[in-house]
Every structure is written in structure tokens, then in C-alpha cells.
Amino acid sequence: MKGEKEEGGEAVKESLEILLSREQIAARVDRLADQINRDYENKKPLLVCILKGAVVFLSDLMRRLTLPVEIDFMAVSSYGQSTSTSGIVRILKDLEYTVSEKDVLVVEDIVDTGLTLNYLCKNLLQRRPRSLKVASLLDKPERRKVDFIPDYLGFSIPDHFVVGYGLDFDERYRHLPDICILKRRAPVQD
């Protein structure tokens, strides 16, 4: 897939290359759900979805769970309109419900530097959950700036900017069923 986006009066060419197909994603989400079903047997976890990117992953994951769950949402920002994190985490939307004495499972789309999830986990631990774990669809270990390993992981991927399956660039590409590498380049000047 190819497209163009105007930036500063100059067209930037974009192309997409499939990294993980919808079939690969579905198979891995099935395995993650099986593992979570075993680990949370006889419990009612609170799934905390990190908006907006993880909403597709959350939807697919929770439909495959056989245990009762509650859901809540948080929105955080560390990217803005860039393809690299600023390192500054802002909570844009906090939880509606208390996590005190609950088994909390944070559902995230991607662990990149680890700064966002490190911050969120510290924040949530101050609220005294019974347990706190993280399920992330994707992980880019090469980019890690803090020591953070998700408890449940879909795929480790190379250091590429990816979109699709809920992940976006400037609010575009979330709708794609596959996870794709976004390649951007300015046009060659004559």
C-alpha cells in the first residue's frame, strides 16, 4: 500500500509492508487467552485497556477469555504526532473504577522504551491492587530505556514503526487488520 501525506508543504511518501498477518495475530491472541484463562482461574480480573491503540487487542482477547472479566480504560500519551516517544508520559483519561484489591491486567498494544508502562505500573501499584500484570501484543526490546518485561507477550518485533490492528500514525491506519511497517520518505528533489 502506498500513499502521500502533506507535511510542511512537502508531500511525504508512505508505504506499508505487512509484518504480522491477521492470521498470525489471531493465533497468538488465542494462545495468550488460553494462558490467561489458566493463570486467572477462579478469579475475575479487571482488564485495563490503554487507549486507543490496545482497543482492538482487548476486544479480541476478552472474547476468547472464558472467565468473567471487568474492563476499564486509561488513555496516556508519550508520542503526540511523532514516530518516536517524547519520554514524557501524560494521563489523558484515568480509570473510572478503583483497582484496590482487584487482579489487574493492563492490556497494551506495544512496549517500546518501557517508559509508559513503567510509569503506569508504578501509578497503579500505588492504588493497591491484589495483583498487577501486563499483557502486550507487541514488544520492541531493542528500544528499551528502562527494564520492563510484559507478563504476557504476543510478539517481539524489530525496531520498525508499525501501524494497524489498533496502532496508528497521526490517527491513521488503526483500521488495518494486519500489523504493518510504516515506511516514510520525502520525495527526491531534482
Residue 150 has a CB neighbour count (10 Å cut-off) of: 19
- Mean pLDDT over 139-148 rounds to 92
pTM passes above 0.75: yes
Confidence band of 155 (pLDDT split at 50, 70, 90): very high
pLDDT at 157 over 60: yes
Between 56 and 78, where is the model more confident? Answer: 56
pLDDT at 57 over 90: yes
**Euclidean distance between CA atoms 181 and 190, whole angstroms:** 28
Confidence band of 90 (pLDDT split at 50, 70, 90): confident
Whether 112 is catalytic is: yes
**Euclidean distance between CA atoms 72 and 48, whole angstroms:** 5
Domains of the chain with bracketed CATH: 21-159 (3.40.50.2020)
Span 100-123, pLDDT tens digits: 999 999 999 999 989 889 999 999
pLDDT at 190 over 50: no
The C-alpha angle 33, 21, 77, rounded to 5 degrees, equals: 70
Which has the closest alpha carbon to 47: 29, 57, 128? 57
Span 125-134, pLDDT tens digits: 999 999 999 9
Residue 73 has a CB neighbour count (10 Å cut-off) of: 18
**Euclidean distance between CA atoms 70 and 185, whole angstroms:** 43
Confidence at residue 3, expressed as pLDDT on a 0 to 100 scale: 56
Look at residue 20 and give its three-state secondary structure. strand
Please, what is the average pLDDT of the chain? Answer: 89
Q: Which of 78-87, 97-106, 163-172 has the lowest mean pLDDT?
A: 78-87
Catalytic residue, from 112, 139, 168, 190: name it: 112
pLDDT at 26 over 60: yes
**Euclidean distance between CA atoms 157 and 141, whole angstroms:** 8
